[in-house]
Structure 1
Amino acid sequence: MIDSHCHFDFAPFCDDPKAYLELAHKAGVGKLVIPAVGERNWRLVRQLAEQFDSLHYALGLHPFFSAEHSRQAMNALKAELEAESLLREKNASRCVAVGECGLDFAITDVNRNQQISLLTQQLELANEHNLPIILHCRKAFPELVRVLKHNPPVAGGVYHAFSGSLPQAKQIIDLGIKIGVGGTITYRRANKTRNTIAALPLTALMLETDAPDMPVSGFQGEPNRPDRLVDIMHELATIRAESKQEIEQVVTLTTAELFRISL
């Protein structure tokens, strides 16, 4: 399986990445995608992927940290993605997407225009380099859809940690975006999300932990881990009509195809 969204450069993983990767591999999670949050961790996610073959990464500017992004941040991102593009021509890049980016209107003193501008420019960069996009959205769904319609992602993408309604999910899928399924579905009280995920086409789904965030049920208060992707997979199988084997095969293939990761 592939964990399509894991902040593996964060604590506690950064203390002993090899040990946490071994836990993931033993559980059946063979590959991880690490989304960046800003200039401060671009180098670190790249170094981790250079150190471990099972890691890939995305480069972007996360809206939650928009106050940290300098005026030069977008120019820096352009330069980074251009360098990755040259490496990709030599099959030497592990950068598989642009992100984590999006809109987060839930934060205090949010600068909506800045976030919309940063997202728009990152969508343009993703299209320029034919890379998928990793999207984050809180309290900004209509605005996100509006931006996506003006800048359709040519290489697709994934809406990370989806917890919306079925009509919202269909809007996203119609824009060529996959739905990231995380720990939310392991909570029986999350009926809206569970019912939505159960009703969507299997080919529209991808699995993620968002570790060390979004703990699965039974592990509240603990840092989430990539090996717990198996718990999300198990719960997905309980709410879907397909067999667990079919779900695992289809979702893994979908993730590999979006990010162009060899299985």
Structure 2
Amino acid sequence: MKKFVKIIGLALTVGVVLAGCSSGTAKSEKTEVVKLGVVGANNEVLESVKERLKKDGIDLQLIEFSDYTQPNAALAEKEIDLNSFQHQIFLDNYNEEHKTNLVSIGNTVSAPLGIYSSKIKDVKELKDGAEIAIPNDATNGGRALLLLQSAGLIKVDPAKKQTPTVNDITENKLNLKITELDASQTARALQDIDASVINSGMAVDAGFVPAKDAIFLEPVDETSKPYVNIIVARKEDEDNETYNKVVDTYQQEETKKVIEETSKGSSIPAWETFGRK
């Protein structure tokens, strides 16, 4: 009888252990991988979001790209699930050019564009014939020209709205030479030219603190809405519960604190100013 009781007890113990293993395996199988494309290596904000998503069974994997031409193509081809690197105007232009249907599912940060220089401390110090680099893509290039206009350096044709080109410059009293480069090269060109218009993410990657180091920084107001950075998905995944959980987790107070710490006040939580998306 004692032997029988021992055998039953042992069987129950093994059953509990196996059930525990089975439960653990089931939990592991429920973990959902979400591949999110980013540009550049400084992703502390998204790393904090990634950590918080673990408790919801979501494994957010950050897939790094080296320039702005790749993440949308990867998303459209279903190589990744989401991306987070661009603003709405850039996305609209990409969709139009490539006949894709990618959509914003959430606002992230407002990251002002800035003018930087290793030779001068103020835009007023620019001399006749000075050379300024700007991004060569249509949306960031247009935004850069509007920034130069805000700084009082040039004037552009207002009919071109948010996407003027160098051919739309109507006034250039300093005869500035505008050199168009890939956005990833504008920071590297600083040693060879007088000033560069650099996207916030590229500036941070180059070691700048935009709010401190830019000689002129883009103002953040209602006109900034088209330049708010966004999380993007394919149209058919717009209402995907898991992907929207990524947005929900991003748009939290914990994220706001990391944005403040990592950007030194240069970026602001866009969802607080402009809403969820």
TM-score with structure 1 setting the length: 0.30
Greater share of residues in strand:
2
Which fold has the larger relative contact order, with Cα–Cα distance below 8 Å and residues 6 or more apart in sequence?
A: 2
TM-score with structure 2 setting the length: 0.29
